[in-house]
Structure 1
Amino acid sequence: MRLTVIGGGPDRERLESKIRELQLEKYIVLKGVIQPDEIYHYFTRSHIHLMPSFFEGLGLVLLESQANGCVPVASHLPGVTDTALVDGVSGFLVKTGAVEEFVHAILLLYNDPHKWTTMSHAAATYVRRHRSIDKMGEKYVALIQECLAGEYPLAKSRKRQMMSLFGRVPAAL
């Protein structure tokens, strides 16, 4: 087993020190910040994607890892990670900062290759069926059609806002 750490941050020096202290250099590789197109190289060669984040803007990296059959074990960040995977099916969501829960999920996958294989296939299938570019396009078209049909009216008119921005209401309104 080998752990490859991608990315940087304020904890890097502390992590390097801990790796040396525990003499884990031959098991842990620190790659640092890499180019976005390089990530697929790692996803196609990895079994598990650990994402012990305290915050994320959007969980796209979870979708990318799953698309490559990598099973994510990620911090549960409501509205972000819980929309990017199916907990217990295509990956695991763990309480933020709960190291023991991350270890438990990793050991579960490591000790049960059949479970990892099943979840790996489920992860790739989930992304293909629910989060592919085609599916995203379909959802955008449906949302635009719903908006045009008045499904999501504005809480208040923005005409006054437009007046202050343009000095007049644009003809489109």
Structure 2
Amino acid sequence: MKTTRLAVLAFALPLVLGACREESATPEVDEAAAASAPATAPEPTPKPAPAPRAAAPVAAPTPPPVCENCGTVSSVVSHQAKGEGSGVGAAVGAVAGGLLGNQIGGGSGKKIATVAGAVGGGLAGHEIEKRRNTSTYWEVTVQMDNGTTRTVQYPQAPGVTVGQKVKVIDGQLVLM
């Protein structure tokens, strides 16, 4: 008897559901089949929702080309370069030292003081000449946009400060 009820239910249920889809009114059900059917009829399984479409991959924007000559000033340093002695300072110093040494003492002490004055004057004159010829130069270090570092030398103050954007053109800095 149970198999008969299940067979009737299996046959009637698709018909009833089909009628519900086609008509908006309540379907007419065979009362004998409804009486033999359990109180709660199993609901049909819903159709799975369609899978969402995958979005097309968005191409990343291409970065702007790197300026090979552009960068940022990372340091400005001044340096002292000792000058060279030409020998003129040593000669003038030796003569001056000799004259001063000759003024000291008498006899053989005078000769020793003259020689010592000439040697000391020559050394002092040479050092004074080197310091007089000392020059100052500046080194500007630039951190380039492409990751490299460049150093530019100037014989006088370059007029740029750390953090400024510059372009290196023919070994010279141009502010941007």
Higher helix share: 1
Q: For the superposition of Structure 1 and Structure 2, which TM-score range results when normalised by the shorter chain?
A: under 0.3
Flag the structure with higher strand content.
2
TM norm structure 1: 0.21
Name the structure, 1 or 2, with higher relative contact order (CA <8 Å, separation 6+). 2
Which of 1 and 2 has greater Rg? Answer: 2
**TM-score (structure 2 length as normaliser):** 0.21
